Amino acid sequence: MSTRSYIGLRINKKDISFVYCHSDGFINKGVGQMLCEHYQDRKKVKELISLGDISSLGKNINPSKDSNHSFYTPEKDVTVFYHRDRKENLDHNKARKISDLKYYPDDIVDYVYLFENNQWYSIVYDENQKTPTKILIKDILQ
């Protein structure tokens, strides 16, 4: 059983680019903590998102030069992408854009993360709210 998540990057005042991440989506000791600890640079977050949907998030985006990194033989601490490492079609796995975080909660995704103003947020949806609630991940991890 996987704990799925979305990882998003605010690219301008109106738009957000996001990808799907299949494994370990929870905050504590999962995707949330990994993002908070290893993806604090906007350039690195942008590179992560540009490679499309993720099977599992690691501390590093790219494998070492002489690595045989793949979906079946992942290098330790390296992110596994559906397109690059599993050779799946990028058109089905590329980042998507939305212009508003408001939506009905997606029942296949347990967590939503957003990099905005150089900080990571967990986005919490309540069916009774008209707007989602953003919570700083660093506050959750304390």
Please report, for the chain, the start and end positions of each structural domain, with discontinuous segments joined by +. 5-141
Which residues, in sequence order, are CB contacts of 113 under 8 Å at separation 6+? 5, 6, 7, 8, 31, 32, 35, 120, 121, 122, 123, 137
Asked if the model's pLDDT at residue 105 lies above 60, the reply is: no
pLDDT value, residue 104: 46
CA 18/CA 114 separation, integer angstroms: 8
Six token digits for residue 75: 């290098």
Place 124 in a pLDDT band, splitting at 50, 70 and 90. confident
DSSP for residue 66: T
pTM: 0.91
